[in-house]
Amino acid sequence: MTSCSTHSESGFSLIEVMMALVVLALGGIGMLSLMQSSTRNAAAIQERTLAVMAAENLLNRALLESRLRGGEAGTYELAGASYAWQLRVEPTIDRDLQRVILLVNGAGTGSELARLETFRRGSGG
C-alpha cells in the first residue's frame, strides 16, 4: 500500500480576497443607501410636523375670532419655513354647526402637508 501525502496550503488566494472585497463593498453600498433614505425620511417628517404645528396655530386663531369666515388664505412663517394656508367653512345638516377645514401647503412645493378639520357650534353672526 502506498500512502499519498497531502499538501495543504495556508492563506487566501487572490480570487478569494477579491470576492471578499466585493461582498464588503456591496454591503457598504447598501448601508449608505439605507442611511440616505433614513435622512430623507427624517427631513420629511420634520417638515410635516412643523406644518401640523402651523395648522394648529392658525386654526386656533381662526376659532377664537367672533365671526369665522371661510375662503381666507395667506402665508405663515414657523421655524424659518414658510407655509401657504387656506381656510374653508362649510355648512352641515345642522344649521347651527359649521365644518371648519384648514389646509397647509408647502410654499415652495404646493403639496399638502397638513389638513385639519373640526366643527364649530354657532354661525358666529
More confident residue, 3 or 83: 83
Cα–Cα distance between 77 and 107 in angstroms, integer? 10
Residue 91 lies in a domain: yes
Residue 4 lies in a domain: no
Total domain count, the chain:
1
Q: What is the pTM of this model?
A: 0.67
Residue 22 lies in a domain: yes
Domain coverage including residue 91:
14-121
CATH number at residue 63: 3.30.1300.30
Cα–Cα distance between 73 and 70 in angstroms, integer? 9
Strand 72-78 with 81-91, pairing: antiparallel
Cα–Cα distance between 20 and 59 in angstroms, integer? 58
Residue 46 lies in a domain: yes
Residue 92 lies in a domain: yes
Residue 117 lies in a domain: yes
Residue 78 lies in a domain: yes
Residue 24 lies in a domain: yes
**pLDDT tens readout for residues 55-100:** 999 999 888 876 777 788 888 998 888 899 999 999 899 988 889 9
Q: 125 pLDDT exceeds 70?
A: no
